[in-house]
Amino acid sequence: MNAPVLPVTSADIDAAARVLAPFAVRTPLLSPPVLNERVGTRVFLKPEMLQRTGSFKFRGAFNKLSSIPPAARAGGVVAFSSGNHAQGVAAAAQILKMRATIVMPADAPLSKRERTKGYGAEVVLYDRDREDREAIARDIAGKRGATLAPPYDDPLVIAGQGTVGREIAEDMAVLGLAPDIVVAPASGGGLIAGVATAIKARYPQAVLIVAEPAGFDDHTRSLRAGKREPHRAEGRTICDALMASIPGEITFAINARLLTQGITASDAEVAAAVGFAFRELKLVVEPGGAVGLAALLAGHIDVGGKNVVIVLSGGNVDTDMFAKLIS
């Protein structure tokens, strides 16, 4: 029997790449000797903190907003996000001359809130423990006739994020190498779903791993169960961008088929990775963006002399938090 067609294909990602080409940064693929020596294998880093708005989220946001017909753009766009998708949507809306309203948690890092406003977006704050951000966003969109731009559970958003994986595949091919293991973090799962789709299209034998903060392991739990499962964490993690409670429906339909496993890293391991990236690699990575690197440095990935690719998904971290993490 033929395998069912997934919600996002490599052709969708190719189309997104064409849309993004004039606007997104093609981030490099780095292989720092100090990291290779530390873990005993060849590691490649995809530094999405160098992307427009400081994270991979611009890719999906711009691909989504570009698809809105010109006649419907007058109503603007509404999104809900803890920060990186917020900035991606705000920046994309600014380029496309659309009004943007972003529903953000009141405890989101100040830098993310201020930068979202800096792109011209209106920010509406909510209490993430007591209020439903998606319901707030849908209410605003309904009243204004605006388009809703979900942070991850949308084929166009996933396809945009998939250009990260497409670039990895192309750059590894230029080097004459195959990516044996590819690791990316997940909140709702849009990035890893897009990356997995792009990588598997070119390298079907590659092992795709999702990285999460310890306790906030809904993807790891869901992959083991074969169905969407929420995490059991209470409280917070320093990985503020990775706190979604359950994988997205569309993202999990992809990830359940393409991912090999999930891994986690503790907040202490993430903090150590942020410090390592700053001191040894001269890179500023936010905690959520460093969770894959943290798992690698902590020995949670069986590298076995293989070519390992780690996606560093963003670098939007408050100055005070960053100073604490690298001290």
Q: Is residue 3 part of a domain?
A: no
Q: Are residues 175 and 262 in the same domain?
A: yes
78: nearest Cα among 70, 68, 106: 68
Are residues 82 and 105 in contact, defined by beta-carbon separation less than 8 angstroms? yes
How many domains, the chain?
Answer: 2
Q: Is residue 136 part of a domain?
A: yes
- Please tell me the predicted confidence (pLDDT) of residue 56: 98
Rounded average pLDDT over 273-290: 98
CATH of the domain at 121: 3.40.50.1100
The model's pTM: 0.95
Rounded average pLDDT over 271-284: 98
Q: Are residues 138 and 90 in the same domain?
A: yes
Express as a percent the part of the chain with pLDDT over 90. Answer: 88
Domain containing residue 263 = 10-56+155-326
- Please tell me the predicted confidence (pLDDT) of residue 97: 96
Tokens in use for 325?
């993490």
- Please tell me the predicted confidence (pLDDT) of residue 2: 59
Q: Are residues 246 and 98 in the same domain?
A: no
Q: Are residues 241 and 93 in the same domain?
A: no
Q: Are residues 181 and 50 in the same domain?
A: yes
Return d(Cα 219, Cα 212) in angstroms, integer: 8
Are residues 8 and 159 in contact, defined by beta-carbon separation less than 8 angstroms? yes
pLDDT digits (tens, 9 = 90+) for 24-62: 999 999 999 999 999 999 999 999 999 999 999 999 999
- Please tell me the predicted confidence (pLDDT) of residue 82: 77
Show which of 131, 148, 165 is a domain's final residue. 148
In the structure, what pLDDT confidence band is assigned to residue 13 with cuts at 50, 70 and 90? very high
CA dihedral 297, 303, 309, 312 (to 10 degrees): -20
pLDDT at 1 over 60: no
